Amino acid sequence: MSPRRRRSNIGTERFEAAPLDGPLLEVKDLKTAFKTARGLARAVDGVTFSLERGRTIGIVGESGSGKSVLSRSIMGLLPRNNIVRSGQALLEGHDLVTASDEQLRALWGAQMAMVFQDPMTSLNPVMKIGNQITEVLRQHLDITKDYSRELALALLQSVGIPEAERRLNEYPHQMSGGMRQRVVIAIAIACGPKLLFADEPTTALDVTVQAQILDLLQEQQRERFMAMILVTHDLGVVATRADDIAVMYAGRVVETAPTRTLFRAMSHPYTEALMRSIPKLAAPSHTRLTAIGGRPPDIINPPTGCQFSPRCPYVQDKCRAEEPPLIDSAEPHHAYRCWFPVGTPENRAALESNQRAGVASAVAMMGAN
Amino acid sequence: MPEQSPDGGQDVATALARDEAASPAFPNPAALAMAAVEADPGRSKKKSIGFGGWLCIAWLVLLLVVAIAGAATGQKIPGFPDPKNDVGNFKEGLFSSGHILGTDSNGQDVASLVVNGASASLEIGFFSVLIGFAVGGLFGILAGYFKGRIGAVLGSTTDILLAFPPLVLAISIVTFLGNSVVWVTVALAIVSVPVLARIARAATLSWAEREFVTAARAQGAKHGRVMLKELVPNVLPAMLSIALLGIAVVIVAEAGLAIVGAGVNSDTITWGSVINSGRQDITDAPHIVLVPSIIIFITVMALNYLGDALRAKFDVRESAL
Amino acid sequence: MRTAFFKIVRLVIVVFIVTFLSFSMLKLQEAATGSTIIDKVAPFGSPAAKAKLRQQLHLNDPFFMQYGRWLGNAASGDFGLKYTGTGDNASIGTRVSKIVGKELPVSIELMIYAQLLALIIALPLGIFTAYKNGSIFDRVTNIVMFAMLAMPAFLAALALQIWAAKNPNAGLPTQYIGVADFPLTPFTRENLTQMLLPTISLAVAQIAVYMRLLRSDMIATLQEDFITTAKAKGIPPRRVLLRHAFRPSSLTLLTVAGLNVGALIGGAIIVEQIFNLPGIGYELVRSILGSQVIETQAIIAIIAVIYVLVNFLVDILYTVLDPRIRHARAIA
């Protein structure tokens, strides 16, 4: 056995040490708030979900729903000084919330990694691509410089970068956005993490390369049996790529379900509204897309009752007074936070009474239905 | 070159940083170099200038009153002994009777020297920066607006002036042309022209690309009108904050010129001349040198502080981008 | 390549103009004051010596020929004479090139010392305060730096001189003490003793400039996305700071350090003057006071050309260090 093989095995031993049963990641009532001049901004407000090995969960919501903060909070990447966190995020049983920086550093890049939103800014502009990849390899795996370079080359090839050899010696600005995002992915998967966060990985890219990058992520995820948290504002993105979906609104999960179930039997009005905002190929051209009226609520002084009530077409007095809990539906693994879930007779009645009363968001639904 | 564009903003930023950084062109590099520094994040949030700011303004107003009095009376401010004829005991220390700041080796009252010297020192500081401001501002705006031949010619002129180390340029102008207050002022003005021109040019370059300027042009506004109505109001804040620092730098430069023997001739009292004449007694009567030096130090600090505050207020770096 | 070529052409043009301006100043002075060069450099010369001098300096030639001759001589290292004689010997003197050759190294040594000292103090301080942005240490440092920024080199020099005079036990001379082998060999004990106070005086304001510049640049850089990427790779903070944040921030620092050479030269002239340090700035002042206009002219031209060259080198270095600029320019 060659010495470099033996060395690279030291790195993989870590993975064998972890237990193989139970979910990879369990997030329990995770809360994250920023201290601001106006008060605490509750960006993530009691999120619970779990993720099995090799599976993908899509976290969907508008900007400001707390979905990006959630992924950074789980990973522990937020600055410590002006932030309040509580709850648990267990990675193979180890709580990431209470972990020290030292402990997190051993996990970052090695066990969990992140693909960031904007490849234009997430690569170091004055460092060669090759070095940015070998850096993470050498940080976590006890390997020689030459071998790390070989690995980097293989990684670049595996993420579909042509002329990878030459690219190793190039700087980020010499590459297009799509290519850069491939490099970011190569860095993230370099040490074979078990958990990959993809934080709006295609938002900053041209429409034409978005699908390629998503396909690449999915392919790598399957090949390397990684679990992935795919954060996006676009339900369409996760529709075919996620096993489960959690819809976030104002820092909370308002609906969670396996992907098929969600698309078949969505229950939360917000999920429904997101769905309406996806362009559909089947629809006649020039069909108006329904934008969601109003704005996400103020997370420093949130409204009482249901967070979505100010924008909801089905809103009733009960919604404004009382916050709905996460209710399990008849479908397996499906839960939602709504008093008048979509598709029920109560929901229908609520809409009609609102339309009679002239509630703007409800009246707007008349044409759409 | 679509791949370049994301970094384009960065390049402009670097270019501006370099242009602004070009300002520490005077003997005291410090003040103007800070132009390249983004306003202190802590301080920029405050919109008012705070207690420190008012303290600085009070100090400068006091100096201004004294300077005007000195200029009006021909450096014989009533209440202070005539610095040119009053002769007391030699080299008296601080707080001696009748001479709160002591006397120098000619028996002249240091307090009187410093108070009367304020007029010439501030005059030189103010007028040279004023000239530099007007000429440099004009050069800079023209060079930034007409990017073609005029821009190239004006740009090269500034570059050549910048090719002389500032103090050396000032020394040569003063020694070769004359050492009256006027010539010293002119010398320091010539030195400050390229600095202010570069700032004005950098600011103009960034503003000239904005939509409202294009809009004004599209509506048929003449070049002069566009520059006067659209560019000058936006370029001024950046220049003003630099000009404040510029005054500080020129005051220091005047003292520097005096120390190397290229200062204002002996007819006029300046802070620099007091410092220079006190240097021979530095071991037995250090206060002669220290009093005017510390006053310069405080004045420079006050001007720096206000310059910083002004830059933070107008968010110069950001608005200039 | 094209840009490199243009840069060199530009450099040559600037050198020509700068030397031309230095040369013309003398003529301008003659016109302005009415006193001739001969009156200045040899006020006590006999008529015969003055005539000889006139011929020696080719003052009867047309202006541009004089400039050409002067430039040609300067290029071969002949900057004329510093005239020391009187009467019939008024046309005799010491070669300016010899004087400059002896004294320029002292100034360069002083400036390098000051830059080194400033950077040694400013770099760690700037990086650390940026990392601990908002801490008490950061705030105190900022106040101190604000004061140091306002401290002109002459104030620092005078204050240190007074301190040294009051504390003779420290063994630091208030004035330069003549030693046989000047310029001194760098980093010897004697050399450091002589140079310490001048170096500190010159470095004080530079420390504040570099430190504040680096701090604010680093704070901005530390908020960049690629720093989060580095952090998310599990890179330890020390490496994130030095390898990822410092390198991009150091580019601005380099530019300012280059541009600062002009200020440094000015500061060195003043500091040399205060400490009687026999550098080129000190000699410049001597020549001015002694009306040695030929020497003054030569020294000014030499300093200006050195300054132009330093800025040229900084520009090149900057291009080499920042890959973005390197490629942008190569393509543009």
> Considering C91, C119, C148, which residue would you say is the last residue of a domain?
C91
How sure is the predictor about A134, in pLDDT bands with cuts at 50, 70 and 90? very high
* Domain finish residue from C91, C124, C146: C91
Q: Which partners does chain B have (≥3 C-beta pairs < 8 Å)?
A: A, C
Instruction: Look at A82 and C228; give whichever has higher pLDDT.
Output: C228
Shortest CA distance from B21: residue in chain C:
C256
**Chain B residues within 8 A of A177 when measuring between CB atoms:** 6
pLDDT for position B70: 81
Q: What is the mean pLDDT of residues A185-211?
A: 89
Q: Are residues C280 and C144 in the same domain?
A: yes
Residues C117, C242: one domain?
A: yes
The pairing of strands A56-60 and A244-249 is parallel
Same structural domain for residues C35 and C63? yes
Question: Is the pLDDT higher at C4 or at A251?
Answer: A251
How many Cβ atoms from other residues are within 10 Å of residue A51's Cβ? 22
| Pairs of CB atoms within 8 A across A/C | 77
Instruction: Give the minimum alpha-carbon distance from C232 to chain A in angstroms, rounded to a whole number.
Output: 5
Q: What is the mean pLDDT of residues B98-110?
A: 72
The answer to whether position C278 is within a domain reads yes
Chain A positions in Cβ-Cβ contact with residue C231 (cut-off 8 Å): 77, 108
**How many angstroms away from the CA of B220 is the closest CA of chain C?**
32
Most confident of A8-22, A298-312, B33-47, C155-169: C155-169
Q: Where are the beta strands (DSSP E) in chain A?
A: 25-36, 39-51, 56-60, 83-91, 94-95, 112-115, 195-199, 227-232, 244-249, 252-258, 327-328, 335-336
The answer to whether residue C148 sits within a structural domain is: yes
Provide, as residue numbers in chain B, all residues whose Cβ is less than 8 Å from the Cβ of C262.
Answer: 24-25, 29, 162, 164-166
DSSP secondary structure string for all residues of A31-54: EEEEEETTEEEEEEEEEEEEE-TT
Higher model confidence: residue B147 or residue A143?
Answer: A143
DSSP, res B96: B
Residue B265 has pLDDT above 50, yes or no: yes
pLDDT of res. C208: 92
Residues C60-84 have a mean pLDDT of: 86
pLDDT at A18: 54
Does residue C139 share a domain with residue C73? Answer: no
pLDDT reading at B266 higher than 90? no
Cβ contacts of C273 within 8 Å, gap of 6 or more: B259, B260, B261, C281, C282, C285
Q: Is B274 on the interface with C (CB under 8 A)?
A: no
Mean pLDDT (chain C) is: 84
- Residue A225 has a CB neighbour count (10 Å cut-off) of 11
Q: Is the pLDDT of residue A130 over 90?
A: yes
**Where is pLDDT greater, at B259 or B162?**
B259
pLDDT tens-digit readout, A37-81 = 888 888 898 899 999 998 999 999 888 788 889 999 999 988 887
Read off the pLDDT band of B96 (50, 70, 90): low
Instruction: Report the percent of chain C where pLDDT is more than 70.
Output: 94
Is the CB of residue A125 less than 8 Å away from at least one CB of chain C? yes
Collect all residues of chain C within an 8 Å Cβ-Cβ radius of residue A125: 226, 248, 323-324
Whether B18 has a pLDDT exceeding 50, the answer reads no
Best residue of B1, B7, B14, B45 to probe chain A, by most A CBs closer than 10 Å: B7
Give the global pTM. Answer: 0.79
In a domain, C155, yes or no: yes
Above pLDDT 90, what percent of chain C? 24
Per CB-CB distance under 8 Å, the chain A contacts of C247 are: 126-127
Residues C280 and C138 placed together within one structural domain of the fold: yes
Helix (H, G, I), strand (E, B) or coil at A195: strand
pLDDT score, position B2:
36
3-state class (DSSP) for residue A331 = coil
The letter for the amino acid at A192 is G
C-chain residues within 8 Å CB-CB of B28? 152-153, 205, 263, 267
pLDDT tier, A247 (very low <50, low <70, confident <90, very high otherwise): very high
Residues C118 and C173 reside in one and the same domain: yes
Number of domains in chain C: 2
As a whole number, mean pLDDT of residues B264-269 equals: 82
Could you tell me which residue, A93 or A147, shows the higher pLDDT?
A147
Residue A317 pLDDT > 80: yes
For residue A125, the chain B residues in CB contact (below 8 A) are 7, 10
Q: Domain ends where: C67, C91, C115?
A: C91
Say how many CB pairs under 8 Å bridge A and B.
12
pLDDT value at C6 more than 50: yes
pLDDT band at A198 (very low <50, low <70, confident <90, very high): very high
Instruction: Read off the pLDDT band of C56 (50, 70, 90).
Output: confident
pLDDT above 60 (res C329): no
Residue C50 covered by a domain: yes
pLDDT band, very low/low/confident/very high, at C203 (cuts 50, 70, 90): very high
Residue B280 DSSP code = G
* Range in A282-296, B160-174, C92-106 with the lowest mean pLDDT: A282-296
pLDDT at residue B47 tops 70: no
pLDDT confidence bin for C325, thresholds 50/70/90 = low
Alpha-carbon distance values, C115 to A105, C120, C176, C290 (Å): 37, 8, 20, 31
Rounded to an integer, the average pLDDT of C154-175 is: 87
> Which of A20-24, B75-79, B287-291, B316-320 shows the lowest mean pLDDT across its residues?
B316-320
Mean pLDDT for B39-53 is 57
pLDDT in tens, B184-242: 999 999 988 888 888 888 778 777 777 777 777 777 777 777 777 778 887 888 788 88
- Residue C261 pLDDT > 50, yes or no? yes
Q: What does the pLDDT read at residue C42?
A: 78
Chain C nearest CA to A109, separation (Å): 4
Do both C65 and C122 map to the same domain?
Answer: no
A108 closest CB neighbour out of C224, C233, C247: C233
Residue C217: pLDDT over 70 = yes
Q: How many CB atoms lie within 10 A of CB B90?
A: 13
Give the span between the Cα atoms of C260 and C114, in whole angstroms.
12
Question: Which domain covers residue C107, as residue numbers?
Answer: 97-290
Gap from A171 CA to chain B (nearest CA, Å): 12
The pLDDT assigned to B155 comes to 76
Residue C331 within any structural domain of the chain: no
Would you call A173 and B6 a contact, using CB atoms and an 8 Å cutoff? yes
At C170, which CATH number?
A: 1.10.3720.10
Q: Do residues C130 and C77 both lie within one domain?
A: no
> Same domain, yes or no, for C153 and C200?
yes
A366 versus B248: the higher-pLDDT residue is: B248
How many Cα atoms occupy the beta-carbon half-sphere of B111 within 13 Å? 17
Residues C184, C270, single domain; the answer is yes
**Under an 8 A CB cutoff, do C134 and B4 touch?**
no
Residues of chain C with C-beta less than 8 angstroms from the C-beta of B27: 152-153, 263, 266-267, 270
Same structural domain for residues C144 and C44? no
Burial of residue C84 (CB within 10 Å: 0-12, 13-18, 19+) is: middle
Asked if residue C319 belongs to a domain, the reply is: no
- Report the pLDDT value the prediction gives residue C186, as an integer from 0 to 100: 74
**For position B109, what pLDDT does the model report?**
78
pLDDT for C158: 92
- Determine the pLDDT at residue B85: 66
pLDDT for residue A352 is more than 80: yes
Report if residue C27 sits inside a domain.
Answer: yes
C72 and C148, same domain (yes or no): no
Q: What is the pLDDT of residue B93?
A: 66
Cβ separation A173–B2 shorter than 8 A: no
Query: C316 in a domain, yes or no?
Result: no
**According to the model, what pLDDT value does residue B23 have?**
34
